[in-house]
Amino acid sequence: VISADSRQCYQELNIGVAKPSLQQLNDIPHYFINTHHITETVTAADFEHYALGIAADLFAAHDVIVMAGGTGLYINAFAQGMDNIPAVPAFVRDNIKKEVKEGGFAWLKAALEAEDSNYSQKGDMHNPQRMMRALEVIRQTGTSILDFQKGQKKNRDFNIIYLGIETERQELYQRIEHRVDEMILQGLVAEVNALRPYSELNAMKTVGYTEILDYLSGKITLPEAIKLVKQHTRNYAKRQVTWFKKNPNVSWMALEDIFSYATQYAIKK
């Protein structure tokens, strides 16, 4: 299994990212799990390069491999390729992060409107990470990131079958409620507390961690933090469904049907 999760690759994040258990990792080989330190920057382009290399090795011994996870951008990078956007020096990125920390989202929005009107009019002005990336590129190259994003699909030498797990909204939300409660019982607060020295890193800007950090900082109570984790997880799940629903190649089915389909496909192959 190749994980397409942008957070499970970090060694230090465990409970809050619902990482597979040690038993599960021992039973079935997983890739892109625990591959990076929390201080490392990992991009969709990094994932594309990594996953294609692993896939090539696995296809030498297997007819079918599985990629699982909910980071749509990573899955798109693997399946269709990434646009070639110039690299940006670390100091440019660090300066922007510093300015965002001081001025907040309002500063970031205003900076993009002033420096990259093309992106501010056509790009995603609700996602701080994408906005900072756009600001990095315009400052480094003088060209809007949108001008580099051609969206040309790359050919892969393997077939891709997209399978989506369809779950009733109420059942999905119940599972989210249960999962968050289990995370708290498993020690999420202690995990986040141990990671407080890394609180400003991008990896920590993750549902489950930001809310508990606010609790540990005295901004909110623990019950409030738990309630927010559940709410933000529901919001994220909704965005995931919206993302994948836009892909006409996804076949949506119940979990048990996916197992049956995958088994039949493997036998057929």
The angle that helices 222-245 and 72-80 make with each other, rounded to 10 degrees, is 30
Read off φ and ψ for residue 34, nearest 5 degrees: 60, 35
The whole-number pLDDT of residue 200 equals 87
The whole-number pLDDT of residue 10 equals 97
8 A C-beta contact, residue 145 and residue 133: yes
> Cα separations (Å) of 129 from 15, 46, 105, 136, 170?
23, 16, 11, 11, 30
The whole-number pLDDT of residue 151 equals 67
User: 245, exposed or middle or buried, with CB in 10 Å at 0-12, 13-18, 19+?
Assistant: exposed
User: 64, exposed or middle or buried, with CB in 10 Å at 0-12, 13-18, 19+?
Assistant: middle
Classify residue 220 by its DSSP letter: S
Mean pLDDT by 10 residues, the chain (269 residues): 96 96 94 96 90 96 92 92 84 92 93 95 87 94 89 86 92 96 98 96 93 98 98 94 92 85 61
Q: Which two tokens stand for residue 229?
A: 């984790």
CA distance 36 to 71: 17
